[in-house]
Amino acid sequence: MSILDKLKQRLVKTRENIFGRIAGILQSGAKIDETTLEKIEEILITADLGVSTTQKIVQSLQQRFKKEKPEKPELLFHMLEEEMEKLIVPIEGVHVEKKMDGVTPFVILIVGVNGTGKTTTIGKLAHRYTQQGKKILLAAGDTFRAAAGGQLEIWAQRSSVEIVRQKEGADPAALVFDALASAKAKQSDVVLIDTAGRLHTKVNLMEELKKIYRVIQKQIPEAPHETLLVLDGTTGQNAIQQAKQFSQAVKITGLVLTKLDGTAKGGVVLAIQQELKIPVYYIGIGEGIDDLEEFHAHDFVQAIVE
């Protein structure tokens, strides 16, 4: 199965919520006119693309309508696909996986609120990078939640990678310091740092995150090389507020959107891109260890349009 076919299979709920409903309008015999555009606008807003993102899409469609005067539904879908793809923020330069080349250790800090799938994402990334021949070390920086270290250790065992962890209640910044020292001594290629799932509204935990960030930079001045924010795709517009708050605490360089296979709100990817201008690096489309895919705008849009 190709990646595109896999995406189409896993993103079926989003596709039905957006383009299934639009197709329903067109199949009912509606003419492609301003009234049709208004109905499309309503569908996009309710599909978690957000008001401002939807307005940009519809305004572009209106301009194209005047010039191209499409009459066939497939032309409208093609135009909509193109306009949606334009809104996705491109990854500047090269993808994170190319940036790793020649940088040892390459440090990736993983942040996000409770329940977004951070630990699972780290496990999947560890597996992905191991398959590429990288030597991985995991830092179990979530010392607040009793089961967190144990869960990460299970993932470490599944991918046969090393892990640094301490007992519950230990200072997470101190653990990160030790993990980086170990990574340098053992010449690890990549360090994946887990952090406690913190509500973006909890000031003390956000301050703790800033402390971890400072400790990383003391050990390796140019690190973290990437700070990835994990967002739960099922939360829709609330994910945007989370991202804004985390961006105020640390510099977020990329996003991972999880659980897109189980939601009809996959359109929030576009809204997040427009609001924050932060690229999406990966999307989670299942529970399997291989169900973390590199994000490509064209494939994503095509999977929810066709």
State the CATH number of the domain containing residue 217: 3.40.50.300
What pLDDT was estimated at residue 92? 63
Question: Which is higher by pLDDT, 31 or 248?
Answer: 248
Between the alpha carbon of residue 42 and those of residues 74, 142, 194, the distances in Å are 20, 41, 39
Of 86, 104, 128, which residue sits at a domain end? Answer: 86
pTM beyond cutoff 0.75 = yes
Name the one residue in this structure whose structure tokens are 């595109």. Answer: 4
What is the torsion angle, in degrees rounded to the nearest 10, for the CA atoms of residue 196, residue 197, residue 202 and residue 206? 50
Kindly state whether residues 161 and 274 are assigned to the same domain.
Answer: yes
| 42, 158: one domain | no
Work out the percent of the chain whose per-residue pLDDT is above 70.
94
- 246-296 pLDDT, tens digit per residue, is 888 888 999 999 988 877 777 888 888 888 888 889 999 888 888 898 888
The CATH number covering residue 39 comes to 1.20.120.140
Task: Answer whether residue 183 is part of any domain.
Answer: yes
pLDDT of residue 300: 85
Per the structure, the count of domains in the chain is: 2
Indicate whether 161 and 189 sit together in one domain.
yes
Q: How many Cα atoms within 13 Å fall on the side-chain side of residue 294?
A: 10
| Residue bearing the bigger pLDDT, 203 or 77 | 77
| 301, part of any domain | no
State whether 167 and 138 are in the same domain.
Answer: yes
Same domain, 56 and 124: no
Same domain, 101 and 78: no
Angle (CA) 97 233 157, round 5°: 50
24: in domain: yes
Residue 300 lies in a domain: no
Select from 206, 224, 189 the least CA-distant residue to 109: 224
Quick one: 106 and 82 in the same domain?
no
How many Å apart are CA 197 and CA 144, to the nearest integer? 9
User: What average pLDDT does the segment 14-31 reach?
Assistant: 78
Token representation of residue 229 = 């924010």
- Is pLDDT of 47 > 60? yes
Distance from C-alpha of 80 to C-alpha of 82, rounded to nearest angstrom: 5
Instruction: Specify whether the CB–CB gap between 225 and 107 falls below 8 A.
Output: yes
117 vs 263 pLDDT, higher one: 117
Whether the per-residue pLDDT at 94 is higher than 70: the answer is no
Would you say residue 137 has pLDDT above 80?
yes
Q: Range of 130's domain? A: 96-295
Residue 305 in domain: no
Quick one: pLDDT at residue 61?
Answer: 87
- Of 29, 61, 86, which residue constitutes the final position of a domain? 86
Q: In the predicted model, what is the mean pLDDT of residues 161-179? A: 91
With bands split at pLDDT 50, 70 and 90, how would you rate the model's confidence at 178? very high
* Pair (114, 37) in one structural domain: no
pLDDT in tens, 210-246: 899 999 999 999 999 999 999 988 887 788 888 888 8
Asked whether the beta carbons of 119 and 206 are under 8 A apart, the reply is no
151 occurs within a structural domain: yes
Q: Which residues, other chains included, contact 122 with Cβ-Cβ below 8 Å and sequence gap of 6+? A: 110, 138, 152, 155, 192, 194
Residues 211 and 65 in one domain: no
CB 95 within 8 A of CB 294: yes
Please report whether residue 251 resides in a domain.
Answer: yes
pLDDT of 4 strictly over 80: no
Query: Residue 199 has what pLDDT?
Result: 63
The answer on 120 and 62 residing in a single domain is: no
- Using a CB cutoff of 8 Å and minimum separation of 24, what contacts does 26-32 make? 26/73, 26/76, 27/73, 32/65, 32/70, 32/71, 32/73, 32/76
Q: Is residue 158 located within the same domain as residue 274?
A: yes
- Determine, yes or no, domain membership for 148: yes
79, 126: one domain? no
Query: Which of 86, 108, 125 lies at the terminal end of a domain, its last residue?
Result: 86
Mean pLDDT over each residue of the chain, to the nearest integer: 85
In contact, 213 and 250? CB cutoff 8 Å: yes
